[in-house]
Amino acid sequence: MFTLNELNLGIAQIGIDPSKVTIVAVSKTVSIQQIEDAVKAGFTHFGESRVQEAEEKIPYLREKYPHLFWHMIGHLQTNKAKKAVELFDFIQSVDSVRLAEEISKRAQALGKEIKIMLEIKVSEEENKFGIEPEKLCAIIQKTAALPALSVTGLMTIAPLLEDKNKLRPYFRRLKDLSVEVEKLDLPNVRMQFVSMGMSDDFEVALEEGSNLIRLGRMIFGPR
Ligand SMILES: *Cc1c(COP(=O)(O)O)cnc(C)c1O
């Protein structure tokens, strides 16, 4: 397993300041023991993609390691929003106003402030989920107005392409959108995170402006 320090050194080697980059260790399918090893290796942000799996891991790990941050990164159905709000600190995969409204309602009921990111569909053909860039402005205005929720960034999953250089326009698109959103200067909306880049494409994502990478296999090995 790579340690946080080792990954940070790798990031520094591509000319990017690792102190500006958040690494989310994606622990889907990974055992509690392996997650504990990753905690010992320095990781503090973890990502899960299914609510049911998260329920089996997060409460135990939160009790034992209260300093960790948990990110929901998988597609979230509205009927699972309540559970997700209970479990997670960040929900990165918000892709509709309806889901944001449900998260807001559930967070309010729990007296909790939840941080979300909006998932953007940067590639028409390839992404199943996510907000189309043309609709982002309208959606973010509505989301900004919701109580108990703040928008902390944008997230995307790049298409699967052999030539990683071909991903640059998609990553650049998300970075540009985050700059546009920041200019709107909306209450409860801060583009603190540009969440893009996974094990196979994080170097290119960082070069194109990512400051949050989601690494699963890179840290934990093949799933
Ligand atoms: C699984 C997953 C990752 C991590 O993928 P790796 O290729 O293992 O790094 C990142 N983001 C999302 C949304 C995922 O579902």
Cα(221) to centroid(ligand 1), Å: 12
pLDDT per position as a tens digit, 10-51: 999 999 999 999 999 999 999 999 999 999 999 999 999 999
Give yes or no for residue 216 CB within 6 A of ligand 1: yes
Residue ranges of the domains in the chain?
A: 4-220
Q: What is the mean pLDDT of residues 93-97?
A: 97
Instruction: Please give the pLDDT value at position 126.
Output: 65
Cα(200) to centroid(ligand 1), Å: 9
Give yes or no for residue 72 CB within 6 A of ligand 1: no
Task: Of 159, 216, 218, 170, give the one whose Cα is nearest residue 194.
Answer: 170
Instruction: Count Cβ atoms within 10 A of the Cβ of residue 41 and give its class: 0-12 exposed, 13-18 middle, 19 or more buried.
Output: middle
More confident residue, 63 or 1: 63
Amino acid at 148: A
For tokens 């909790």, the residue is 112
Mutation probe of ligand 1 site: the residue of 73, 95, 121, 195 with most atoms within 8 A of C-beta: 73
Q: Tell me, yes or no, if the pTM score tops 0.75.
A: yes
Distance, CA of 132 to CA of 173 (rounded, Å): 12
Q: What is the mean pLDDT of residues 142-159?
A: 96
Q: For residue 124, what pLDDT band results from cuts at 50, 70 and 90? A: confident
Q: For residue 125, what pLDDT band results from cuts at 50, 70 and 90? A: confident
Cα(216) to centroid(ligand 1), Å: 6
Q: What is the mean pLDDT of residues 114-133?
A: 89
Cα(185) to centroid(ligand 1), Å: 30
Give yes or no for residue 93 CB within 6 A of ligand 1: no
Distance, CA of 151 to CA of 190 (rounded, Å): 6
Share of the chain above pLDDT 70, in %: 99
Structure tokens at 213: 């990478």
Give yes or no for residue 156 CB within 6 A of ligand 1: no
Which CATH code is given to the segment(s) 4-220?
3.20.20.10
Pairing verdict, β 189-195 and 149-155: parallel
Q: What is the mean pLDDT of residues 41-65?
A: 98
**HEC states along the chain?**
CCCHHHHHHHHHHCCCCHHHCEEEEECCCCCHHHHHHHHHCCCCEEEECCHHHHHHHHHHHHHHCCCCEEEECCCCCHHHHHHHHHHCCEEEEECCHHHHHHHHHHHHHHCCCEEEEEEECCCCCCCCCCECHHHHHHHHHHHHCCCCEEEEEEECCCCCCCCHHHHHHHHHHHHHHHHHHHHHCCCCEEEEEEECCCCCCHHHHHHCCCCEEEECHHHHCCC
With a cut of 90, say whether residue 218 has pLDDT above it: yes
CA dist 26 to 20, 61, 184, Å? 19, 15, 31
Give yes or no for residue 28 CB within 6 A of ligand 1: yes
With a cut of 90, say whether residue 134 has pLDDT above it: yes
Terminal alpha carbon distance of the chain: 13
Instruction: Please give the pLDDT value at position 63.
Output: 98
Share of the chain above pLDDT 90, in %: 96
Q: Which residues pair with 212 in a beta bridge?
A: 22, 195
Give yes or no for residue 64 CB within 6 A of ligand 1: no
